[in-house]
Amino acid sequence: MLGPPNRRRRPRFTIIVMMLLSITVLTLDSKDVPILGSIRRGVMSALNPVGRAFSSVTSPVRNAWNGIGNNDDMEKENTRLRDELDALKNQQLTNTDAVDQLARLKEQLGVPFLATIATEKAKVTSGNFSSFDDDTAQIDKGSSSGLEVGMPVVTQAGLIGSIERVSADRSVVRLITDPSISVGIKLKSDDLGVGRGTGAGRPWVIDRGIGLTDPVAVGDPVITSGLERAKYPPGLPVGTITSVTRDQGEQIQILDVALAADLTRLDYVQVLLWKPPA
Amino acid sequence: MTDWMMVVRWTAVVITTTLFQVGIAPQFPLFGVVADVMLLVSIAAGVAAGPQRGAIIGFWLGLFYDLMRPGPLGISALAYTLTAFAVGSLLVAVLTVRRTLAALVVFVASMLGTLLFATTSELFGQNTLGSPRLWTIVFVVAFINMILSVVAVPIGRWAEGAGAIESRSGVLSGASTLGGGGLDG
C-alpha cells in the first residue's frame, strides 16, 4: 500500500532540487564566478596542513605499503638519482641543439635565456585526492611564494606543465599530458608546430604545423617555440621525436614525442616566475 | 520536524569522511588508485537513509570533493547525488539489507558512480573516459568500497539514528510495518 501522494513526491522533488543545485554550481564555475574561486582557494589552504599532517604521521606505514621500505636514506637516494637522470637527459638534449637554438632565439626574438628567469623550487605533495587527476599534480608552494596562474613548471629535464590554480601555499599544476593543453614547439630544423598530450601514459604528439616536406628525424629534440603570446618561454626542452607518421590526407607529419621529464615520478619541480605576455 | 541530532551526526560523518579522503586515502593507493570514500559514504547514506537524505548527503560529499580536486566544480556533486538517490530508491522496498547485500550494492553502485563521474567529467572537457586506467580505477574503487562497506554502512545507520528505517520506507505505508532491525548491517 502506498502512502500519501506528497510523501511519494518528496524524494523526487529532492533529487530535482539537488540536480539543479549541482548544475547551477557547474554553470557558475564555468563562468569563473569569483566567489567560487575564493572558496576553492580557501579549501585548498585549509586542507594543505591536514594533508601534510596525515602524510607525516602515516609516512612509515605508507612506505611499507608502497613497498619501498621505511628507509628514508633510500628514498633520498632515489630522489637524487632521479634528479641526476633528469639532468643527464636535459644535457643530452641541450648538447644536441638546444643551446644554439636558444642563442638564436634570443637574437631573433629578444627573449631571455631560461637561466635568467627566476624560479621557485617546489615539492610535489603526496598525491592527488582522487584517481582521475593523472594530468595534474599538486605542489607545496602558492601565491605566498610568488606563484601565479599560468606560470610554467619544469623539472631539470624539461617542461611538465603550468600552474592552473593557486592558493596561499599550494598550487595545482596542469601537466602537458592533458589533451586540452597545447604547446607551441620548435624542431631542430627551426620548423614550428603545435603539440599536445593525449592523456597520462599515452604518447605526446605534434599534429599541427609540420608539413610533409619539413625535415624531421627520429631522435630530434623538441623545444618550446616561445612565439608571440606563447604560454611558455622559448627553449624549454619538451622531449625527443620517437616516431614520424606521414598523413597524406592532411599533408602533414604527425610526430610522437617522448617527453624529456618523467611525469610519472615527480618529486621536485621548478616554477618559472614568468608570465605569458598579455 | 528536523532531528537536529541527526543533522549533527551526518555533519560529523561528512567532515570525518572529507578528512579521511584528504589525509588517509591518498597515502595508500591500491594499484595506483585512490579510494573514493566520498562515494562510499554517499552510497552508504542511500542504503541507510533512503533516496531523499541519501541524495542530500551525496550532494554535499560530492561538492566537498569537487572543492578539493582539479576540474569543474559540481561534477562529483551531481554524480554522487544521483548514485545515492538510485541506491536509496532501489533499496527502499527492501526490508532487510544484510551485510552481503549491502556489500554487493556498494560494489555495483561504486562502479556505476565512478563511471557516471567519468562520463559527466568528459562532457565538461576533462580527459576521464579516455584514460587508459579507467577500468582499473572503476574496479579498484568498487573493490575497496565493497570492503569498506562493512564499516561505512553501519556508520550511515548510526548517523541516521532511529530515523533510518522510517527514511527508507518513506514511500511505503509506514515505518511500523517494517518492524525493528530493518538494516541488519
pLDDT digits (tens, 9 = 90+) for A1-24: 444 444 455 778 999 999 999 999
- Joined together, the cell numbers standing for residue A130 give 582522487
Contact list in B for residue A70 (CB cut-off 8 A) is none
Contact list in B for residue A23 (CB cut-off 8 A) is 74, 78
The model's pLDDT over A82-111, given as tens digits with 9 standing for 90+, comes to 777 777 776 676 666 656 655 554 444 444
User: Which residues have CB under 8 Å from B72's CB, separation 6+?
Assistant: A26, A29, A30, B66, B121, B124, B125, B126
Mean pLDDT score of chain A: 80
- CA neighbor of A172 nearest in space, from A140, A132, A131, A145: A140
Do the Cβ atoms of A133 and B71 come within 8 Å?
yes
The model's pLDDT over B2-51, given as tens digits with 9 standing for 90+, comes to 688 899 999 999 999 999 998 888 888 888 899 999 999 999 999 999 99
The model's pLDDT over B79-109, given as tens digits with 9 standing for 90+, comes to 999 999 999 998 877 767 788 889 999 999 9
pLDDT at residue B168, rounded to an integer: 53
Q: Which of residues 47-86 of B touch A (CB under 8 A)?
A: 50-52, 55-56, 58-59, 62-75, 77-78, 81-82, 85
- CA neighbor of A169 nearest in space, from A203, A199, A188, A146: A146
From the list B51, B74, B126, the residue facing A25 with the nearest CB is B74
The model's pLDDT over A24-68, given as tens digits with 9 standing for 90+, comes to 999 998 888 888 888 888 887 787 777 778 777 777 777 777 665
Chain A interface mutation, best of B73, B111, B114, highest count of A Cβ atoms under 10 Å: B73
End-to-end CA distance of chain B: 27
Q: Which residues of A87-103 are buried (b: 16+ CB within 10 A; e: fewer)?
A: eebbeebbebbbeebbe
Contact list in A for residue B64 (CB cut-off 8 A) is 43
Do the Cβ atoms of A25 and B118 come within 8 Å?
no
Do the Cβ atoms of A25 and B73 come within 8 Å?
yes
Which stretch of A25-39, B120-134, B160-174 has the lowest confidence by average pLDDT?
B160-174
For residues A207-226, average pLDDT: 89
pLDDT at residue A107, rounded to an integer: 46
Do the Cβ atoms of A21 and B77 come within 8 Å?
yes
- Joined together, the cell numbers standing for residue A14 give 529532492
SS3 for B149? Answer: helix
- Quick check: B105 and B47 in contact, CB under 8 A? yes
Q: Please tell me if residue B17 touches chain A, with a CB cutoff of 8 Å.
A: no
ipTM field: 0.82
